[in-house]
Amino acid sequence: METLSRVGPPEGLRGHVPHLCSFCKCPARSRCSRRGLDPSEQRFFVLLLLVFLLETSLAILFFAYTDKIDSYAQQDLKKGLHLYGTPGNVGLTNAWTIIQTDFRCCGVSSYTDWFEVYNATRVPDSCCLEFSESCGLHAPGTWWKAPCYETVKVWLQENLLAVGVFGLCTALVQILGLTFAMTMYCQVVKADTYCA
């Protein structure tokens, strides 16, 4: 009776496994010709780990500095109002139009934010209760009064469960990627020890 002195693929498959792995783009491809491991085997894992740690750090910083982020966001949005309707800023113009129409709001913190943009008492037509051409020139009683920043913020808080589930699913996929990358690396190390 023959005893098994080594662990590895059966003798008949030994030459075919590296070629099959090479065909499938497996990192363990044809490693038997080299001695030692290439440090690039760990790059994918390290890259995934860095991205995951960066995202985690940003999430922690976001929750730690929510008040400062709020004030910076409002300032930047108010600066962005000045680009509304200008050439080359179609995306920004469409975004403000959609937000103000769908959320029934006007301006960042008040409809008066638009007064600085137009240097007059007027707002874009997307701020009007009843949309019509040049309705933004009419009296303030015909405009949405709710500020868009607070309205969107409340909407996000109401839908926090969906945002949280999305974030957790993204984190789970990244953790699975880290796990599979490390498992693949360990298999390469194990395959290399068999070939040595």
Q: Please calculate the CA angle 56-62-67 and round it to the nearest 5 degrees.
A: 165
Name beta bridge partners: 143. Answer: 128
Does residue 160 carry a pLDDT above 50?
yes
Q: What is the pLDDT of residues 37-66, one digit of tens each?
A: 456 557 778 888 898 899 899 989 988 998
The percent of residues above 70 in pLDDT, for the chain, comes to: 77
Name beta bridge partners: 128. Answer: 143
Q: What is the pLDDT of residues 60-106, one digit of tens each?
A: 998 899 889 989 999 999 999 999 999 999 999 999 999 999 999 99
The overall average pLDDT reported for the chain is 80
Q: Which residues contact 96 (CB under 8 A, 6 or more apart)?
A: 81, 84, 124, 126
37 DSSP 8-state letter: -
Task: Tell me, yes or no, if the pTM score tops 0.85.
Answer: no
